[in-house]
Structure 1
Amino acid sequence: MGKPDAEGHGSSDGLPDLPPEWGRIVVPDDASALAGEAAQIRRELRRAAGQHAGQPAFALPLLVLFVAVLTTLAGLLAVTWPRATRGTADRPAPSPYVPPATVTGQALPALDLVDAAQAPVALRGLLPAMIILVDGCPCPERVAQAAAAAPDGVAVITVAGRSVTATPPAGGSVRTLADPAGGLRSFLGQPVRPGALTALLVDRTGVVTQVLPDLGPAETYRDELAALAP
């Protein structure tokens, strides 16, 4: 074992005195006697180094994960939000149906339709008449009602699309024609509507007096139909 100085606070070889609060210090003659203290000091240093090194090692992956989540959310907002806004802004609103009343008062064009034998028939040669377009619906019951309500001298004509498909109702005088060229539908300027019958009332001079966009019961047009009588 080493020897303390005479006062127990230092050595006698001229070295400066140690702080008195350190207490009595004994320097061993053999350095291996300090192996235990050295091992404990190394463990403390490693523990302290591990604590300081672990903080950045844990914080860096957390920071990367946080940035990745923010980037993903920003990308989703950039893709979905503007697209939804554009979809609602660019989508055209459905236009309401406009009855084909603009042809009222106009002259019926000189159209040649065809009968069941594909023979041409001049439409203006059948006036006065109630012309019913059945390309959207055959609707034989409503056609029969129109034929029964028509006065003498007023023809009831059904006009199909490419070919004559409707059969004249029993007991009524209905002329069935077809309009393969679509001239009458073009004159109206309205598309075919499934389930609807469009009718035109045309006097003997060829002027359209009324357009019925959806032919209803005979009571709704009986007076106008009677006014076509010669």
Structure 2
Amino acid sequence: MGKADADGPGLPDLPPEWGRVVVPDDISALADEAEQVRRELRWATGQHRRWRPPMVPVLVLMIAVLTTMAGLAAVTWTRAGRSTAPATSAPDPAPVQLVGRALPALDLVDTGQSPVPLRGLLPAVVVLVDGCACPERIIEAAAVAPAGVTVVMVAGSRPEAAPAGTQVRTLADPAGGLRAFLHLTARPHAVTALLADRTGRITLVVPEVGSFADHQAELARLVN
């Protein structure tokens, strides 16, 4: 049988709120109480391990979401800016820059792929039809060109057939040398024309011919 520690000699004073503490003679009598204490300690330790502050993963998730949204917004803004920007292209240089210059010594090719010196056809009105065959423009040029002026119809890879009833020289410029000299791009549904006098001097360049009748005065001066 145990006895109260508070009554035993030589033991320190215990807090009065603990009440009477009885120490058993056989320590094995405390086995149940010890096991209960161990169970409570294991439970408390497990609860502590399972609990984690929830703020860290929440902050990581929020940062990831905000980063993704910022990236999508940047891509969308860039694409929208590109799609709404008006498409621009470099304008052709003013044809007047070529007026007064010498016609280049280019060799074009005829239907048999034989070379034909362009300067051997002067004076001439050269009509580039690589963007549009436009037979009505060729017929008009042949009708208004004065006698002695050669009407030259220049296609791209191979010569085009001249409109029936016209005295037109049909040639081709497969290398694109004449276009490169003029610095003028081919335009669909339009022809480009240049006029050169008997000395080879360029007197007029028309990027898009509306009507050759508008240039009868320049055509007449080619034979003067």
User: Normalising to structure 1: TM-score of the pair?
Assistant: 0.69
Note if contact 1:131-1:201 (Cα within 8 Å) is conserved in structure 2: yes
Q: 2:186 aligns with which of 193, 204, 207?
A: 193
User: Normalising to structure 2: TM-score of the pair?
Assistant: 0.70
Q: 1:25 aligns with which of 21, 27, 48?
A: 21
Partner of 1:106: 101
Q: 1:126 to 1:15 in 2, by over 3 A?
A: closer
Deviation at 1:202, TM superposition (A): 1.2
> 1:160-199 to 2 correspondence within 5 Å?
160-164=155-159, 166-180=160-174, 182-188=176-182, 190=183, 192-193=185-186, 195=188, 196-199=190-193
Partner of 2:153: 158
- What amino acid maps onto 1:137 in structure 2? C
Partner of 1:36: 32
Note if contact 1:135-1:192 (Cα within 8 Å) is conserved in structure 2: no
Unmatched tracts of structure 2, length 5 or more: 83-87
Note if contact 1:108-1:124 (Cα within 8 Å) is conserved in structure 2: yes
Q: 1:206 to 1:14 in 2, by over 3 A?
A: closer
Q: 1:114 to 1:34 in 2, by over 3 A?
A: closer
Note if contact 2:92-2:184 (Cα within 8 Å) is conserved in structure 1: no
- What amino acid maps onto 1:40 in structure 2? Q
Runs of 4+ in 1 over 4 A off after TM superposition: 180-183
The answer to whether the aligner puts 1:2 opposite 2:2 as a matched pair is yes
Percent same amino acid among aligned pairs? 55
The one-character-per-residue Cα deviations of 1:192-230 (angstroms, maximum 9, x if unpaired) are 525252211112332110111222233543443344344
| Matched length | 205
Q: 1:123 to 1:17 in 2, by over 3 A?
A: closer
Q: 1:48 to 1:180 in 2, by over 3 A?
A: closer
Q: Using the alignment, how far apart are the partners of 2:185 and 2:91 within structure 1?
A: 15
Q: In angstroms, what is the RMSD of aligned CA positions?
A: 3.6
Note if contact 2:92-2:185 (Cα within 8 Å) is conserved in structure 1: no
Deviation at 1:23, TM superposition (A): 1.0
Q: Using the alignment, how far apart are the partners of 1:22 and 1:121 within structure 2?
A: 126
Is the partner of 2:49 in helix, strand or coil? helix
- What amino acid maps onto 1:200 in structure 2? L
Unmatched tracts of structure 1, length 5 or more: none
Q: Using the alignment, how far apart are the partners of 2:31 and 2:106 within structure 1?
A: 121
- What amino acid maps onto 1:31 in structure 2? I
